[in-house]
């Protein structure tokens, strides 16, 4: 095929960068309207609304909520069938499970702890860590099936010792769930699973119904309706993040393998027509040859895989959102990278560790020619639920801490409180919250009964 849709941008300063590179994710008004109506109805009518939307959007007609809840026998049967039918996949899942579990156990040991300090006599302050009681996990369906997302969302919750984990995922056209997903649920000991997708799944997890208990937090990626619903229920429940189109940025120089760069940009474009694929390089040769290799790989994919590869989605994404950016000024490229705040960042340069020190904003970072994003997607162990839409400026990949909550604790003896009593009174008087100071003063009132 003849291609000629990629050009090289040559900015001289940061404000020359195309807005699409750093633009946020906007939820269209019609989606907001539809989602608001679904949330209101599920909140008001519970099971009745869930079943209505299940028929309307998931195209599955159920008589009651028990019809959309997966039975234990279905899970057990899937576990047996998948082991027989997909031995290679089961082996790959075990590799992924082992690495994800090891990473998040290490994370749990280092990032989360209860502690107490005794800064003065008669005084103790600190924090205690507790797992969330009940978590809802949304697993996307639709265009693709994502067993990897089950592992990425459930494993850290299990390590955090969440007591109840419920999964919602859209059914297949025949009204069943994918057998591999059920196999994983059996393996991970998840027994509460509903054939329910979209905003209605988010609504019932957030608000509950006569038959489904509400959760404390909802995690997991989804389409624009799921994202809009998560945004609207935040505050009634916790959420992990708002997932928009996936993106990758690659920092490269003359030492980089242009064939690898091209393949990685294409792999990100495969997700969605709105996915972003960006190359930042200080080598014009690397920029030019990357474009040549993108075209070459597109032909190779079609020739080798035929209809298995969704070439229409890839081409739409590359034409709309792929940018090849060249500048001799490496510091400008790093500044652009930090402005993009990519979901995925690959550093394929000499002295990659030196560049890494200058990266301020990135969700997941992959270093070297032999560490593509696909490693993190499947077997690397790091989590692939990562902030999109430049949200890596202020948020982080999903991890064990997302399934924990902190409570601050304090103990004061009478002497310790007496030492600070006047300071508390001064604050309360200045802020005109007199009863606050009084609540301390009364403890030392000689005439109190």
Per DSSP, 144 falls in state -
Predicted local confidence at residue 167, as pLDDT: 97
Catalytic residue among 270, 297, 335, 343: 343
Predicted local confidence at residue 233, as pLDDT: 97
Predicted local confidence at residue 20, as pLDDT: 60
- Looking at the domain that runs over 8-25+245-381, which CATH code has it been given? 3.40.50.1980
Torsions phi, psi for 160 (to 5 deg) = -75, -10
Nearest to 233 by CA among 405, 40, 26, 27: 40
Torsions phi, psi for 48 (to 5 deg) = -55, -45
Residue 291 CB contacts under 8 Å (≥ 6 apart), including other chains: 6, 8, 262, 324
- The pLDDT tens digits for 144-172 are 678 999 999 999 999 999 999 999 999 98
Q: Are the beta carbons of 104 and 156 closer than 8 angstroms?
A: yes
Predicted local confidence at residue 141, as pLDDT: 81
- The Cα–Cα gap between 248 and 275 comes to 8
The phi-psi region of residue 306 (left if phi > 0; otherwise alpha if psi is between -120 and 50; otherwise beta) is left
Tell me, yes or no, if the two domains 8-25+245-381 and 29-239 fold the same way: yes
Catalytic residue among 344, 353, 418, 425: 344
Where do we find the tokens 């890839």?
A: 314
Nearest to 258 by CA among 346, 171, 167: 346
How many H helices and E strands in the chain? 18, 14
Using 50 as the pLDDT threshold, list the residues of the chain that sit under it: none
- The Cα–Cα gap between 154 and 149 comes to 8
What is the pairing mode between strands 115-120 and 123-131?
Answer: antiparallel
Predicted local confidence at residue 19, as pLDDT: 62
In the predicted model, what is the mean pLDDT of the chain? 94
User: Would you kindly state where each structural domain of the chain is located, as residue ranges?
Assistant: 8-25+245-381, 29-239, 413-444
- The pLDDT tens digits for 195-212 are 999 999 999 999 999 999
Active site residue 297: no
Active site residue 271: no
Nearest to 351 by CA among 364, 335, 368, 363: 368
Q: What homologous superfamily is domain 29-239 in, according to CATH?
A: Nitrogenase molybdenum iron protein domain (3.40.50.1980)
Predicted local confidence at residue 146, as pLDDT: 87
- The Cα–Cα gap between 157 and 131 comes to 9
Provide the 10 A C-beta neighbour count for residue 186.
19
- The Cα–Cα gap between 193 and 137 comes to 10
69 strand-pairing partners: 194
Provide the 10 A C-beta neighbour count for residue 205.
31
């Amino acid at each position: 095929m003849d291609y000629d849709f990629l050009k090289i941008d040559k900015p001289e300063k940061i404000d020359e960068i195309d807005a699409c590179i750093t633009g946020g994710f906007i939820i269209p008004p019609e989606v907001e309207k539809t989602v608001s109506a679904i949330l209101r109805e599920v909140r008001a009518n519970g099971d009745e609304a869930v079943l209505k939307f299940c028929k309307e959007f998931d195209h599955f007609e159920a008589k009651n909520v028990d019809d959309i809840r997966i039975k234990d026998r279905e899970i057990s049967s899937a576990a047996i069938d998948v082991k027989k039918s997909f031995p290679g996949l089961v082996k790959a899942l075990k590799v992924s499970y082992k690495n994800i579990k090891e990473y998040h156990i290490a994370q749990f040991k280092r990032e989360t702890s209860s502690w107490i300090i005794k800064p003065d006599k008669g005084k103790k302050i600190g924090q205690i860590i507790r797992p969330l009681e009940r978590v809802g996990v949304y697993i996307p369906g639709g265009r693709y099936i994502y067993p990897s997302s089950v592992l990425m969302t459930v494993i850290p919750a299990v390590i955090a010792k969440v007591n109840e984990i419920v999964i919602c995922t859209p059914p297949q056209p025949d009204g069943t769930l994918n057998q591999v997903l059920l196999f994983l649920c059996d393996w991970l000991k998840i027994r509460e699973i509903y054939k329910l997708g979209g905003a209605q799944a988010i609504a019932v997890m957030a608000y509950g119904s006569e038959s489904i208990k509400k959760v404390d937090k909802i995690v997991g990626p989804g389409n624009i309706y799921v994202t809009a619903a998560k945004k609207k229920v935040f505050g009634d429940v916790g959420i992990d993040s708002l997932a928009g189109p996936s993106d990758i940025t690659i920092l490269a120089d003359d030492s980089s393998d242009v064939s690898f760069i091209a393949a990685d940009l294409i792999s990100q474009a495969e997700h969605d027509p709105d996915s972003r694929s960006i190359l930042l390089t200080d080598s014009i040769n690397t920029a030019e040859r990357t474009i040549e290799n993108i075209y070459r790989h597109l032909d190779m994919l079609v020739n080798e895989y035929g209809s298995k590869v969704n070439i229409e989605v890839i081409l739409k994404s590359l034409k709309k959102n792929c940018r090849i950016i060249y500048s001799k000024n490496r510091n400008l490229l790093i500044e652009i990278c930090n402005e993009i705040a990519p979901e995925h960042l690959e550093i394929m340069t000499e002295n990659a560790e030196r560049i890494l020190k200058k990266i301020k904003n990135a969700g997941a970072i992959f270093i070297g020619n032999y560490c593509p994003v696909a490693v993190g997607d499947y077997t690397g162990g790091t989590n692939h639920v990562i902030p999109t839409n430049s949200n890596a400026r202020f948020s982080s990949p999903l991890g064990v801490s997302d399934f924990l909550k902190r409570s601050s604790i304090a103990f004061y003896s009478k002497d310790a409180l007496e030492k600070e009593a006047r300071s508390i009174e001064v604050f309360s008087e200045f802020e005109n919250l007199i009863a606050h100071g009084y609540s301390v003063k009364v403890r030392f009132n000689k005439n109190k009964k």
